[in-house]
Amino acid sequence: MCWHVYGLLHRADRNYNEAIKAYKQALRIDADNHQILKDLSLLQVQMRDLSGFEVTRRTILQAKPTGKINWLALALARHLNGDNRGAVEVIDKYLETLNQGRSELPRGFEAGELAMYRNQILAEIPGNLQEALDHLLVCEKTVVDRGSWLMARTKYQLGLGQFHEAKQTILDMFHRGMTENYGVHSMFMCALLELDNSVCEEAWSMRGTRTVASMMPLSQEQKEKILHAYATELFPKFGRSYAVQRIPMNLVGEERQKNALDVFIRKHLVKGVPSLCRELSSFFLVEKKGRYYVATDPVEVKSHPTYKLILGLVNDYISSLKSNSKLLPDDEFDEPPSTELWTWYLRAGLHELAGEYKEGLAVLDKCIDHTPTAVDLYELKGRVLKASGDFKAAVDCLDAGRDLDRQDRYINNQTTKYMLEAGMEKDALERISLFTKHEGNPEANLYDMQCSWYELGLAACLAKKKRFGPSLRKYSTC
């Protein structure tokens, strides 16, 4: 008991290696103590001692084979150690004890998740996609999460070159409401173009609105094939889908792209979407080593033909708004007064992408005069000021926006980050403390919440001030 308590004290001080030594010393005296073994296994996986974690979980299972968690923990330990076959054997033995001779698999959400976990382990074995696909068919009625089941089936079919079957599975996912998942759209294009498995894996791992259409150069024949499929198969059934409308814009020619972007931008300006500029920046693609990348350098952005196209459209919108014309001439309803604000906001965002910070600040000042209570304006102005090198003015601007909505955690966190980059660590602690527990030390509460971005930012702030001792202590505790 003394060794166990000694280990608990070390664990409370986050001295995990010493705690493991104390637990092992306690087990030398009482080798079958379930609680000590459980505490030891938790610290072993915390310290990435995976081989020791597997040994401990096997000992616990042998002592208490009736506990479900003991079987699953041993399967997880073997999976983490790379013994996928061993993990599958543990799950199978657990299911045998659970079924007790019944031919049917257990039903329910937990049983379905266990079946999908077993399937994932099978798929990670090299060259074992066919067995994983066969297992999916066996556990189809057990799995409750139909979307994950269809997603796994599509990946296996693409990996095995079963493109026609994969396309049908993807259409089933679209019918289930997964039309806004851009990864599914990438898989649809992979099945349509019959691409290699390596390209398919790269495509469905992309984030945001990136797809095969914006990942790599395609031939004109491939583009026409995708456009025909979207026009004849997807748009008639899922025409209201945002992704179905947006993805073809990466494939059409300049004139058709201009018309499509015109309609796209007008609708979003009327709705008042602050992220429109960031969304449009995904069209600024540059080719490097056979792959497309979003242009981030201001020189590349300014010379990009799509940027010039969008800039011309926005200038036309501003001219039409000055003459009191409507952005949507066919709309029978009146446009809100905020349309002008969001048009200028988009213009300022384009200035930011092109590195024209002085012009962007002038436009943002006009926006703030129009609507001084819009928090998004202060955030963009702060970002432009920061990009121009004026950190102090960026902090003041963002803090003024934060003061408009003190219950917004995001703008509060952004203000804290800017303060740390400006070397104002005391003010940053005061701002972040507004969303921590008031009792006790706020920094201790931030550590317990694993708010690592604050601690890393504070360490970098201290390092800039050449306070290397406190900076190293912060880095070591992250």
The whole-number pLDDT of residue 66 equals 86
Q: What is the largest CA-CA distance in the chain?
A: 88
The pair of structure tokens assigned to 352 is 């930011």
CA pair distance 478, 471, nearest whole angstrom: 11
| Both structure tokens of 391 | 């950190």
> Could you tell me what percentage of the chain is helix, strand and coil, using 3-state DSSP and rounding each to the nearest 5?
70, 0, 25
The DSSP code for 273 is -
The answer to whether residues 441 and 410 touch, using CB atoms and an 8 Å cutoff, is: no
Cα 268 from Cα 277, distance rounded (Å): 10
DSSP assigned state of 332: S
Enumerate the β-bridge partners of residue 288: 291
Q: What pLDDT does residue 328 have?
A: 64
Q: What is the pLDDT of residue 318?
A: 87
Of 125, 121, 127, 126, residue with least CA distance to 136: 121
Structure confidence at residue 174 (pLDDT): 95
Domain ranges across the chain: 252-368
187 vs 170: CA distance, rounded Å: 8
Q: What is the pLDDT of residue 25?
A: 94
DSSP state of 291: E
pLDDT in single tens digits along all 478 residues of the chain: 999 999 999 998 889 999 999 999 999 999 889 999 999 999 999 999 999 999 999 999 999 988 889 999 999 999 999 999 999 999 999 888 876 655 455 568 888 899 999 999 999 999 899 999 999 999 888 899 999 999 999 999 999 999 999 999 999 999 999 999 999 999 999 999 999 988 999 988 888 888 999 999 999 999 999 999 999 999 999 988 999 999 999 898 888 889 999 989 988 998 889 999 999 999 999 988 889 999 989 999 999 999 999 999 999 888 887 776 667 666 555 678 888 899 999 999 999 999 999 999 999 999 999 999 999 999 999 999 999 999 999 999 999 999 999 899 999 999 999 999 999 999 999 999 988 876 778 888 888 888 899 999 999 999 999 999 999 988 987 7
User: How much is the pLDDT for 334?
Assistant: 65
End-to-end CA separation in angstroms for the chain:
31
Predicted pLDDT at 323? 73
C-beta pairs of 79-86 under 8 Å, 24+ apart in sequence: 79/121, 80/45, 80/50, 80/53, 80/54, 81/50, 81/51, 81/54, 84/121, 84/122, 84/124, 84/125, 85/125
Instruction: Centre a 10 Å sphere on the Cβ of residue 300 and count the other Cβ atoms it contains.
Output: 16
Amino acid 149: pLDDT: 95
Contact present, 40 and 27 (Cβ < 8 Å) = yes
Residue 458, CA distances (Å) to 404, 415, 461 in order:
25, 13, 5
Backbone dihedral angles phi then psi of residue 107, each to the nearest 5 degrees: -105, 170
Q: Using alpha carbons only, what angle is made at residue 124 by residues 122 and 130, rounded to the nearest 5 degrees?
A: 55
Q: What pLDDT does 100 receive?
A: 60
